[in-house]
Structure 1
């Protein structure tokens, strides 16, 4: 398995093409509905598109990413992109961070230094990690046109091979969104390698109703779940059943791509309806631009297609025995109570209810998430 250094550099011509396409956008007509009621607000998207075209500095975002050591690993037909960041402590423990959709490696740029060099932020040297952050196969810099699709199961196996190639025999895994599914699948498949599993999204099955014996917490969970299924998962049905049809529009229109992603960042973050109070405009556009420049939006839908056409990634009659911790952020869409998580996870060591934050925890609240990962890892012996 060949590992080669990598530096991100998008050609000037591609940046100019993006600006030209933005200048030629045909926006939909305004409706009489309240802003955001029918989806992405037109006025907001017009303003964001103008900023994207005239003021956004992609080169600055490249520099933010290129500060960290990046590599590509050839695995069969896949070129897997990843960051491998070591801190000053030679005893640092390996930690794999897994992103999801519509996120990317850009989510982790603020949390990585807190994890690799905690002393710099007033923490303890012994809490340091060596951090490995792959781009999900089929996402961003782990995508090449024509490659096959990858579901959660394949991604978990690929990440286990990555850690083996880096000579990390025992390690921690952390994830939210698809990253939570992938990390949980890794803990199920490779319990001898995964020393600890930290999640900010617990991948319990999302069906059923509260039983007559359900607790108040369980009833509240099923009420939230019913509301979300009714009004919040249309994107999953489209991406999970007709992903290629949708990808035509999003591959051709940067504003179409941006509107599809922005709506999720607003709905799923702890922003009170004002997205940029939680996630800066530049951070938002760095993430969207990475999808645009890599052309990976269509392939990023494949895990949804696989999820809808396969069994649950962890067999429902089995349990994950690896020590697990969960950080519950208040604006996460699905927040099952501990009693339901215990059906799948047999060794829950830590369950932290956070005061603020949403679905994009590493991006929204890097300090809170880093501290919780560190506290959990102190309890685990890598062996």
Structure 2
């Protein structure tokens, strides 16, 4: 373990602003709003704030508030935050982010989960290919291998808890499938989606309705996943070269789960959204991050990894601006011991509703005997 500090040269920030100011805007159909993707009027207004008001150095200091390290596992450099809980017997908990977010997804949870009698030793890594880890794209199953070694061999825990959603969901499911003996419990905000290979005779009516919703969602919002699973390199050239292209692509996905008026709130705020985009920009990891979709798709298509359900206790939260899967769908994949549908929130609940999310994590993990 080597201590790590975020320290981006000023020349990188100056280059960013120069690229933004020299953007060639494509124009958009009159009155199109958000129907064609990220709205240009909104993006121009956000860009003005990004160049003139957003303070990266202030947010860089915030990123450095908590201890962070790098370590090399299986030849891959892993960046992670490691914050010890202050309670009498904190539980080790690894939190795994998704795309298009980063380890920054969980920054608001740190003070909430490391204080009090029921606290946690928090481990918040950057998935390989994201943020300050190596720019090496690997499958979710391989990330699980790395996380198991990080928690047991590098940090020395015999058993630990894990939570995640989005790509993090795949990592967590791989952990309990491959390493159930070291997993105390897991927490998820999604469990996977119908692929069309399910036997309708085995599905409840609620599951069939869920499958129909997902099919419609993929046709209307799923283009990003198809591109990233098949032609990630073609996409990477533009996103790695243009900050406006990068922001437009990321914001388009954030908007997929939220109405336009909630797009910043859904990600915790305007500065939080820009800081997340900045992490991709300053590390030049957008290309390697989208390649992870290709790695997971290749593992699925080749049949080299099939998830096995285990007996590890699992808590599941379903937020209203997420796909509303029923409990019986979750029970196909994990040993559901807690299932709750929430009244508010969306895909990035750890940023949008940190206090509620932290309370749910604490209540679940400390209920597991």
Q: TM-score, normalised by structure 1?
A: 0.91
The counterpart of 1:183, out of the listed 143, 165, 172, is 172
Check if 1:244 corresponds to 2:244: no
Residue 90 of structure 1 deviates from its aligned partner by 3.9
State the secondary structure of the residue aligned to 1:223: helix
State the secondary structure of the residue aligned to 2:299: coil
Check if 1:320 corresponds to 2:310: yes
In structure 2, distance between residues paired with 1:171 and 1:86: 14
Q: Say how many residue pairs are matched.
A: 365
Residue 339 of structure 1 deviates from its aligned partner by 1.0
> Where does residue 122 of structure 1 map in the other structure?
none
> Where does residue 277 of structure 1 map in the other structure?
265
Root mean square deviation of aligned Cα: 1.8
State the secondary structure of the residue aligned to 1:102: coil
Greater shift in the superposed pair: 250-259 or 162-171: 162-171
In structure 2, distance between residues paired with 1:188 and 1:369: 25
* Deviation string, structure 1 residues 312-353 (Cα, Å, up to 9, x no partner): 78626x322211110101111x332111221222x2110011
Q: Is the 8 A contact 1:267 1:273 kept in 2?
A: no
> Where does residue 351 of structure 1 map in the other structure?
339
Q: How does 1:211-290 map to 2 (within 5 A)?
A: 211=200, 214-269=203-258, 271=259, 273-279=261-267, 280-290=269-279
Residue 60 of structure 1 deviates from its aligned partner by 1.4
In structure 1, distance between residues paired with 2:200 and 2:279: 44
The counterpart of 2:134, out of the listed 143, 161, 166, is 143
Check if 1:115 corresponds to 2:103: no
Q: Is the 8 A contact 2:265 2:352 kept in 1?
A: no
The counterpart of 2:163, out of the listed 156, 170, 174, is 174
In structure 2, distance between residues paired with 1:358 and 1:207: 25
In structure 2, distance between residues paired with 1:223 and 1:76: 41
Q: Is the 8 A contact 1:243 1:302 kept in 2?
A: yes
In structure 2, distance between residues paired with 1:174 and 1:275: 24
Residue 226 of structure 1 deviates from its aligned partner by 1.4
* Deviation string, structure 1 residues 91-146 (Cα, Å, up to 9, x no partner): 111000000100101111111111111x4xxxxx1x211100000011010034xx
- Give unpaired runs (5+ residues) of structure 1: 120-124
In structure 1, distance between residues paired with 2:235 and 2:106: 28
